[in-house]
């Protein structure tokens, strides 16, 4: 991977019940993620995805770009913006901003419906 290269895009459409499965897997049962009625009561359009789930998609796209070994992901820093929702496609894309000595830094973004849900994500990858 060289400076300026794009990493392969990852496209994922979380299904209606994904937030429930992620809640169980992660232990985060905040009702804004799993209860549409509760979410509406607190002013959200519907139940929203866990930010850390979206971060996991960013991690997944970067590990895939590095060849699939989970040990290649050394660091990941993200800012959560807006909110992700189930049943709508998420696209994770990235550009190599530094490369050298078996190590690259990838600027990554996750978008849904034309809006960024994760921005300024920076992944540091160790390449074999």
Partner 1 sequence: MPADASAQGKSFPAFEYEVGKEKIGEFARAIGVDNQVFFDREHARAAGFRDVAAPPMFAVVYCAGAMAPAIFDDEVGIDFAALVHGGQEFVWGEPVCAGDVISTVARVESIDERGGMGFYVFASESTNQDGAEVVRGTWTNIVRGA
> Does 73 engage in binding with partner 1 (CB under 8 A)?
yes
> Does 60 engage in binding with partner 1 (CB under 8 A)?
yes
Q: How far is the CB of 84 from partner 1 (least distance, A)?
A: 12
Candidates 1, 44, 56, 99: give the one binding partner 1 (CB under 8 A).
Answer: 56
Q: How far is the CB of 56 from partner 1 (least distance, A)?
A: 4
**Burial class, 35, CB count within 10 angstroms (exposed 0-12 / middle 13-18 / buried 19+):** middle
Candidates 39, 65, 76, 96: give the one binding partner 1 (CB under 8 A).
Answer: 76
For 31, the token pair is 């009702």
Q: How far, CA to CA in Å, does 24 sit from each of 29, 55, 61, 86?
A: 7, 17, 23, 16
For residue 95, the tally of other CB atoms under 10 A from its CB is 14
Evaluated on CA atoms 21, 26, 32, 38, the torsion sign reads: positive
| Residue 107 to residue 120: CA distance in whole angstroms | 7
Q: 23 to 42, contacts with partner 1 by CB under 8 A? A: 24-28, 42
Minimum CB distance to partner 1 smaller for 4 or for 40: 40
- Using CB under 8 A as the criterion, which residues of the chain lie in contact with partner 1 when the complex forms? 12, 18, 21-22, 24-28, 42, 51-53, 55-57, 59-60, 63, 68-71, 73-80
């Amino acid at each position: 991977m060289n400076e300026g290269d794009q990493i392969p895009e990852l496209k994922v459409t979380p299904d209606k019940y994904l937030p429930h499965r992620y809640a169980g897997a992660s232990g985060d049962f905040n009702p804004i993620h799993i209860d549409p009625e509760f979410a509406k009561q607190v002013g959200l359009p519907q139940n929203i995805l866990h930010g850390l789930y979206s971060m996991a998609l960013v991690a997944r796209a970067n590990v895939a770009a590095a060849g699939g070994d989970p040990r290649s992901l050394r660091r990941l820093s993200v800012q959560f913006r807006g909110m992700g929702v189930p049943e709508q496609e998420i696209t994770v894309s990235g550009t190599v901003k530094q490369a050298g000595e078996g190590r690259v830094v990838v600027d990554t973004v996750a978008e849904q419906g034309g809006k960024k849900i994760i921005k300024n994500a920076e992944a540091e990858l160790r390449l074999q």
